[in-house]
Each structure stands twice: as structure tokens, then as C-alpha cells.
Structure 1
């Protein structure tokens, strides 16, 4: 179909034709993807002869869409992960366990339980004394065999690896670590008061202490209790008498 002069003038002046492919924005603008446009005359790119580069326009349009699609893919694949871990230290908590008769004149089955969460070496101190009605400790000491009698637990004289050992500092040491929730054997089988001593009351005081056992050599027992007790941790974790050179 021949093009009339009026139509030629319109094309030469850059007037837009009908929709025949992608529409491009004016030079310097950006689209929603942030992509810059080509230089145009009016609203469509032109080249020699005033014809639009339709094939190129289609290729560039595809590229623009691909760039927009890539940006969307990055957004969709952005992920986040978070893990919260809370760590707590192990706990050692020695507890004296004992029984009394109904008149509270006989104490029996004295032993130590580890109510903590980590294995521990246990030691106990035994103090026997008089106190007055106000709870004050008296100077004169009760006499074993006359004022009271005491029967020590069998583990104090046992030759097995698990036993009570009296250290050089006067404390009684359980020879192996006590696991969480476990107990020692009886340190004292029974203590009984004899006679009437007026306002004086017999006191059998048991105090216990613990040290965490699952530590490196030279720490824990060796660093804190070894020098005073004369004991040391053996290769298998059992307490042994220290050798003297």
C-alpha cells in the first residue's frame, strides 16, 4: 500500500504509529525494574529512514523482563536461620541423710547423697560437743563410752575401693566420685546418748562438702584438698594416700 505525503511527513516528524511491539519509555526514565530506557524521538526509538527497530525492540524487551525476573528470584530465595542454645553449668549439692529414733536420742545411718547434676568428691566433718539450753557450745567435751557411744560404718574400715578414708586434716573422704543422684555408704551406723546431763544437750554435728570430680588432672581435688588431706586422685579416679619421698 502506497504511503501518501501526509503520512510520510507524520513518520518523518516522529509521530507514533499504531501498537506494533513493545512501547519504550522516553530517554533517561526508568521502569519498575529500575532499567534505563533508550534514546527516542517522541515516544518510540528511531533509526535511519524513520522505521522502528522492531526485532531489536523485542530482544531488549525480553532482556528487561529477564532482569526483572532475576531480581524477583533473588528476593524469593533470601532466607534466614537462627538457633538459640543456652548452656548451664553442672551443679554439685551434697546432702546429709540420717535417721533418728522416736525419742531423738539415737542417730543412725548417716551418709551423703549427691543431689546435684555432676559427679563430685565428698568429704564430711564430724563434731561432737555439748551445748546449753540457749544453743551455746560449752567448753567441756562429752566423753565417748560414758556420755555417748558411736558405731562407725563398715565402709570406714573396708579394704575395697569404695570406702571412707580419714584424711590428715580430720575430714572423712569418700574414696570415689559420687555420681549425680547416688549416695555413699554409711559414715556412721549409730550414735547414742547415755545418761541425764541436766540442761546440757549432746550435739553430733555432721558437715559435708563437695568438689566437682570431672576435671583435668591437677584441678579440683588435687588443687584444693590434696595438700591438707594427704590424699591424691589416682589414675582411675580413686583417692589414694600420697607417697612421701
Structure 2
């Protein structure tokens, strides 16, 4: 393999997230990384998506693009069945974060303002998590999201690209990260605020095998501590199962 070639990352990053985003060092095969944020503004606002490119392999135009899917029907106060897919062209690992906040103004009009006070779970909104491993689990399941010590949620298996699914076979996807999130009816606020639930998803190519550890390992602020022979990630979790 030849030397990797760095691509200039996008200037804009997802709002309200302080994700570990350091550029992996060069190896024989460069790591391809990308992130995508889906901001769902409960109360009539729309979903917004943001993608950011990372490193590219100079011999193959590898494309690592995560996708966020959800049910978000009118009147846009309930968000359900949030999961991720791989919209790139190579196998990739995914990780995600979830942020809930108050905003005023409009994302579309560029006038959105993030408020300082934090929405209260059970009072301002209700959230039912999807398939997220219990912090008390003694072993890490391969079919659930794992919350790492960095606060992010890791999907432990690499996902094949959606384009690989042919002949009526359903494309690979993660389990639901959020089963349901609903804004509580609240008439006490008079400043025009609305609830924003933002899911930020990052992806990194699965090949070479050390790419994910290089990009998301502890020395990069991540929680990936190893990769099994079958490709399953070992994640340093909040429950200490890793």
C-alpha cells in the first residue's frame, strides 16, 4: 500500500457536541472517517444532516458515509426507531452520541440559539432507549449498542454498505439506538423554545483491522480497546465489561 493522503476536513462541526475528533496518524493504509449529524427539532422543525470527510486511500476512493434513519411524523413531537446504516462503499464501524437541548429560532433561517438550561428527562421529554447494553453486563453483546467510557455509543460489528444488499435482501443496519423520544406538552415557556434531539454518527472503515483502534482508541479519546478475530469491537464501557 502507498502512503495515505489527508483530505481537508469540513470547517463546520455538529453543534453542541464535543466529540473526540482527532485525525489518525498515517499508516500503510489510510483511515477513512466520516460523521453525520441528524438534528431533530421537536415542535415543527425539520431534520438536518451534516457530513464531514476525513482521510482517503490514494489507491481506492473509499467512501465511508453513515446514515441516520428514524420515524419522525407530524406534528413532529415524537421521534421513533432511530438506527444507523452504512451508505458508503466499504465496510465500516459506527459510533454515535445523543444530545437533547432547548433552542429558539430556526435552523433553516440561521437564527437558532441554544439555551443554557438543560431539558429535564421525565419533565420536558420522555426517552426510551433502544438496544443498548446494560452497564451491569458481564459480557458485551454483539447485537446491542455499547456506551463507552467516553460517553459515545459504539456498534460493535462492522456494517456492510447498503449497496451490497441485492436480490431483495435487506441491507445491514444497527439495532435501534432510540426506541422513542417524545416532547412533553408544556405551556409554561414563553420564549418560543423547542426541544432538539440530535444524533451524531461517525464511521470509520473496517479494513485494515487496526484502523478503528487507531481512530477511536484511548489515545485518541475513544473507547475501543481491541478487535476480535471475527471483527467484534471490545469497548471500554461505563459498566466496566471491557
Task: Please confirm whether the aligned pair reaches a TM-score higher than 0.5, indicating the same fold.
Answer: yes
CA distance in 2, matches of 1:200, 1:176: 38
Match of 2:36 in 1: none
Deviations for 1:99-124, whole angstroms, at most 9, x for unmatched residues? 11321000001111101110000011
Contact in 2 for aligned 1:123/1:210 (Cα 8 Å): yes
SS in 2 for 1:222: helix
CA RMSD of aligned residues (A): 2.1
Q: Which structure 2 residues correspond to residues 51-200 of structure 1 after superposition, within 5 A?
A: 88-133=60-105, 134-157=111-134, 160-181=141-162, 182-196=172-186, 197-198=189-190, 199-200=192-193
SS in 2 for 1:123: strand
Deviations for 1:122-177, whole angstroms, at most 9, x for unmatched residues? 01111100011241100000000000010000344496322201011111110110
Q: TM-score, normalised by structure 1?
A: 0.59
Match of 1:233 in 2: 227
SS in 2 for 1:207: strand
CA distance in 1, matches of 2:131, 2:82: 12
Q: How big is the shift at 1:88? A: 3.7
Q: 1:238 to 1:89 in 2, by over 3 A?
A: same
CA distance in 2, matches of 1:103, 1:191: 13
CA distance in 1, matches of 2:203, 2:160: 12
Contact in 2 for aligned 1:175/1:239 (Cα 8 Å): yes
Q: TM-score, normalised by structure 2?
A: 0.60
Match of 1:203 in 2: 196
Q: 1:154 to 1:142 in 2, by over 3 A?
A: same
1:215 lines up with 2:182 in the alignment: no
CA distance in 2, matches of 1:95, 1:241: 22
Gaps spanning 5+ residues in structure 2: where? Answer: 1-58, 106-110, 163-171
CA distance in 1, matches of 2:235, 2:153: 13
Q: How big is the shift at 1:90? A: 2.4
CA distance in 2, matches of 1:149, 1:113: 25
Which structure is higher in RCO with an 8 Å CA cutoff and minimum separation 6? Answer: 2
Report how many aligned residue pairs link the two structures: 156
Contact in 2 for aligned 1:156/1:187 (Cα 8 Å): no
Deviations for 1:48-101, whole angstroms, at most 9, x for unmatched residues? xxxxxxxxxxxxxxxxxxxxxxxxxxxxxxxxxxxxxxx742211101111113
CA distance in 2, matches of 1:148, 1:115: 31
Larger Rg: 1
